[in-house]
Amino acid sequence: MSQVKEVVLITGANTGLGLEIVKALYKTAQAYHIIAGSRNISNGEAAVAAVRQEIPSSSSSLSVIQVDLASDESIKKAFENIELKFGRLDILVNNGGAGFDGAIRDGKMSIREAWNKSWDTNVSGTQVLTTEAIPLLLKSSHPRLLFITSGTSTLTMTESFAHPTLQRINASPAPGWPKPQQINPIESYRSAKTGLNMMMRQWHRILLNDGVKVWAVSPGFLATGLGGVGIEQLKKVSKDNSFNGRFPN
């Protein structure tokens, strides 16, 4: 008997952590229908082509779908296409997100613009996308809903100095104003991810009696392009983080 493939949608899958999740799943012996969500379809197709070249043999199938967290129309159309092709969704990985604090630092955005955009992308857009996904998740016999959060977002960790990264982001600057510019500011991003954590808790409550497993995952400090600092610089301070290509049962 052929192995039943679970249908997985990963948002923000054309780069960074999202792309690494795609690779990890594509490598595993368990078969998935992996849908790589990308705001720009050509970027998604290029990323998928690179995965297929890097991993020429897989038990999984891989496709790309255009989905923009800032566009309700894009989100709605994406799920219409998933329903038409697969009829259900087994796993949603809400990985898509962005940071805009560097744009404030560099004078490219006002504080209001950057904070609104951060919350619209990381929280509001994710809420809209998740809401659209629920009918398809409820058609699954084993639905799972994941939110990729940040270790910087937990309220209890804002007073911890147990790790060099926490020492940096939780330290209070010297008195006076204006404060020195940070290399990698995260105020709006950190706050938005805290909002995402509460969103996850709410979805856990709402879907508890539907049998949907809901949780958030903090991947740790990784070298990605999210902060606009540069991947090579972040590699010097990032810790190794691995994903074994299997979802919890």
Are 47 and 38 in contact by the 8 Å Cβ rule? The answer is yes
CA atoms within 13 A on the CB side of 206: 13
Q: Dump the DSSP string for 83-96.
A: HHHHS--SEEEE--
What local confidence, expressed as pLDDT, does residue 170 receive?
86
What local confidence, expressed as pLDDT, does residue 160 receive?
85
Torsion of CA 203, 123, 132, 40, to 10 degrees: -140
What local confidence, expressed as pLDDT, does residue 174 receive?
92
Catalytic residue numbers, as ranges = 150, 189, 193
What local confidence, expressed as pLDDT, does residue 159 receive?
85
pLDDT in tens, the chain (249 residues): 456 899 999 999 999 999 999 999 999 999 999 999 999 999 999 999 999 999 999 999 999 999 999 999 999 999 999 999 999 999 999 999 999 999 999 999 999 999 999 999 999 999 999 999 999 999 999 999 999 998 888 888 888 888 887 888 888 989 999 988 888 889 999 999 999 999 999 999 999 999 999 999 988 655 455 555 455 545 554 543 334 445 454
Residues composing the chain: 249
Q: How far apart are CA 187 and CA 153, in angstroms?
A: 10
The neighbour count for residue 2, using CB atoms within 10 Å, is: 5
Are 82 and 7 in contact by the 8 Å Cβ rule? The answer is yes
What local confidence, expressed as pLDDT, does residue 168 receive?
84
What local confidence, expressed as pLDDT, does residue 200 receive?
97
Q: Write the CATH number of the domain with boundaries 6-235.
A: 3.40.50.720
CB neighbours of 116 closer than 8 A, spacing ≥ 6?
none
Enumerate the domain spans of the chain.
6-235
CB neighbours of 114 closer than 8 A, spacing ≥ 6?
100, 101, 103, 104, 188
Structure tokens at 43: 């970027």
What local confidence, expressed as pLDDT, does residue 155 receive?
85
